């Protein structure tokens, strides 16, 4: 059923009218014309669509609009900018992490929550926190380096 929604995305409030079952991903991409996050699977299996909902990494491809409520949505673009980058973004650039880069929402948004809650993660902590995310290009070694580099920057 079509309903009215107020979405708080990266600090801005947007009013939209859409099917309440429509996943947040399509509201962000189609209605708000935000090009992040990406569609990877639509099945909560890969992370390409990850955003923060009140700080919690969430797969927007399976989050119906009706379930968003008044929680604050933050996308990769809202995490940091080239002027004020999040340490993970800086580390990603310094480590030259991605190949195709289509996966980066999942890894950066999920790692950002980890580093917020765990200032000194071990290698095992990082791998466990990132478990399940996909990078088909196989950039895992560089991802792990970047998360460690960001942790060092923040700690």
Partner 1 sequence: MSRTMTRMDKPQGFSRRTLLQATGALVVSVGAPMTSTSVRAAESGAATATKPPLTPDQLSSYIAVNADGTVSAFSGKMDMGQGLSVAFRQMVAEELDVPVDRVKLFIGDTDTSVNQGGASGSTGVQNGGKQMRAASAEARRVLVGMAADKLGVPADRLTVKDGVVSTANDANNKVSYGALIGGRFFNVHLDWNGQMGNPLYAPGKAKPKDPKTYTIVGQPVPRDDIAPKVFAQADFCTDIKVPGMVHGRVIRPAVAGAVPVQVDEASIKAIPTARVVWDNGFLGVVADKEWDAIKAAKELKVEWSKPAPPFPNQAALYDHIRQAPVRKRELEGRQAGNVDDAFKNAARVIEAEYEWPFQSHSSMGPACALVEVKDGRATCWSGTQKAHYVREGVAAMLGVTADKVRVIWTTGPGSYGRNDADDAAADAAVLAKAVGRPVRLQYMRDQGTGWDPKAPASIHRARAALDASNNVVAYDFLSKGFSRLDVNTNGSNPRDTLAGQNLGVALKSGDGFGVPGESYGFANKRAAWETIAPLLDRSSPLRSAHMRDPVGPQICFASESFMDELAAALNLDPVAFRLRYVRDPRDLAVIKAAAQKAGWQARVSPRRDQRGNNVSGRGIAYAQRGPTRVAVIAEVEVDRGSGRIRARKFTVAHDCGQIINPDGLHHAIENNVVQATSRTLWEEVKFDANNVTSVDWRTYPILDVTEAPEAVDIVTINHPEIAPSGAGEASSRPVPAAIANAVFDATGVRIRRAPFAPGYVKSALS
49 binds ligand FES (CB under 6 A): yes
92 binds partner 1 (CB under 8 A): yes
Task: Tell which positions 51-70 bind partner 1, by CB under 8 A.
Answer: none
- Smallest distance from ligand FES to CB 112, Å: 16
102 binds ligand FES (CB under 6 A): yes
Considering only 81, 96, 99, 118, the residue that binds ligand FES (CB under 6 A) is: 99
d(CA 74, CA 56): 9
Which of 19/39 has CB closer to ligand FES? 39
User: Which value, in Å, is the radius of gyration of the alpha carbons in the chain?
Assistant: 15
Q: Which of 43, 72, 41 is nearest to 55 (CA)?
A: 72
**Of 28-36, 50-58, 66-74, 112-120: span binding partner 1 (CB under 8 A):** 28-36
The binder of 154, among ligand FES, partner 1, none, by C-beta within 5 to 8 A per type, is none
CA distances from 44 to 41, 47, 104 (A): 7, 7, 15
Are 137 and 75 in contact by the 8 Å Cβ rule? The answer is no
The binder of 148, among ligand FES, partner 1, none, by C-beta within 5 to 8 A per type, is none
145 binds ligand FES (CB under 6 A): no
CA distances from 18 to 14, 21, 27, 46, 48 (A): 12, 8, 8, 25, 23
Considering only 4, 13, 17, 33, the residue that binds partner 1 (CB under 8 A) is: 33
Which of 71/102 has CB closer to partner 1? 102
b (16+ CB within 10 A) / e for 108-147: bbbbbbbbeeeeebeeeebeebbeebebeeebeebbbbbb
93 binds ligand FES (CB under 6 A): no
């Amino acid at each position: 059923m079509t309903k009215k929604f107020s979405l708080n995305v990266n600090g801005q409030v947007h009013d939209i009218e859409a099917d309440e079952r429509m996943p947040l991903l399509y509201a962000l991409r189609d209605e708000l014309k935000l090009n992040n996050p990406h569609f990877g699977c639509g099945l909560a299996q890969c992370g390409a669509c990850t955003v923060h909902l009140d700080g919690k990494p969430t797969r927007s491809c399976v989050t119906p609009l009706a379930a968003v409520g008044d929680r604050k949505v933050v996308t990769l673009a809202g995490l940091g900018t080239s002027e004020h980058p999040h340490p993970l973004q800086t580390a990603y650039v310094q480590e030259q992490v991605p190949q195709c880069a289509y996966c980066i929402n999942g890894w950066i948004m999920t790692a950002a929550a980890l580093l917020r809650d765990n200032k000194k993660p071990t290698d095992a902590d990082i791998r466990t926190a990132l478990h399940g995310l996909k990078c088909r290009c196989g950039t895992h070694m560089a991802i792990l380096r970047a998360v460690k580099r960001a942790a060092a920057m923040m700690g």
